[in-house]
Structure 1
Amino acid sequence: MADGEEQALEERLKSALWFSIGKIVDEETLKLGVNATPQFIGALTEMVWAQIENVTIDLKSFAKHAGRSTINTDDVMLLSRRNEGLEAVLRSYVDKQNAGKSNHKKR
């Protein structure tokens, strides 16, 4: 992908993220009866984007260390190991998915 195309894609992704975060912030501020400025939404979007970039780097590193070019569930679980709540939610989801697959194969 050319640099111009890559930059255009990144801008589209950031715009979609800003839109989604804006909707969530609007819903929550209505519930709480407070206001959020566009600057707040912009700053929150930048913070989330930076976190996504960091997660991406970590996931790529985990897959590469395992000798793979594709990120899989094990990489995500490894990333979540320091956040017990997140790890529990993800583990529950993965277990349900795996149970569904094994039940489907038995039919």
Structure 2
Amino acid sequence: MDQTEEISLEERLKSALWLAIGKIVDEETIRLGSNATPQFIAALTELVWAQIETVSQDLESFAKHAGRSTVTVADVMLLARRNEGLESILKAFIEQQREGED
């Protein structure tokens, strides 16, 4: 993938993320009876994008350290180990997926 295609893909992904976050924020502001500015949604999108970049780099490092080119569920669980809430949600999701395979 050349640099132009990479930038285009990143822009499309950020746009999709902005749209998804905007939808969630809209639903929550309606539920709470409050408002959110477009600047808030843009800032939240940038924050989430930065977090996604950090998490993806960490996951790639875990896989590379283990001598793999593929990120596994174990890598994700290793990353989530210090966030008890996220870890419990992921464990429940994994269990649900395993039950669905049976």
TM surpasses 0.5: yes
Instruction: Supply the RMSD in Å over aligned alpha carbons.
Output: 1.0
Shift of 1:91: 1.2
Aligned counterpart, 1:50:
50
Please give the residue correspondences for 1:44-83 in structure 2 after superposition, counting only pairs within 5 Å: 44-83=44-83
Aligned counterpart, 1:10:
10
Amino acid of the structure 2 residue aligned with 1:33: G
**What 5-or-longer segments of structure 1 have no aligned partner?**
none
Shift of 1:57: 0.4
Aligned counterpart, 2:35:
35
Aligned counterpart, 1:24:
24
Shift of 1:97: 2.2
Quote the sequence identity (%): 68
Shift of 1:33: 1.1
Which structure has the larger Rg over C-alpha atoms? 1
SS in 2 for 1:82: coil
SS in 1 for 2:45: helix
Q: Do structure 1's residue 96 and structure 2's residue 96 form an aligned pair?
A: yes
- Structure 1 outlier segments of 4+, above 3 Å: none
SS in 2 for 1:4: helix
TM-score (norm 2): 0.95
What is the CA deviation profile of residues 42-96 of structure 1, one whole-angstrom value per residue up to 9, with x for unaligned ones? Answer: 0000000000000000000000111100001000000100001111111122123
**What 5-or-longer segments of structure 2 have no aligned partner?**
none
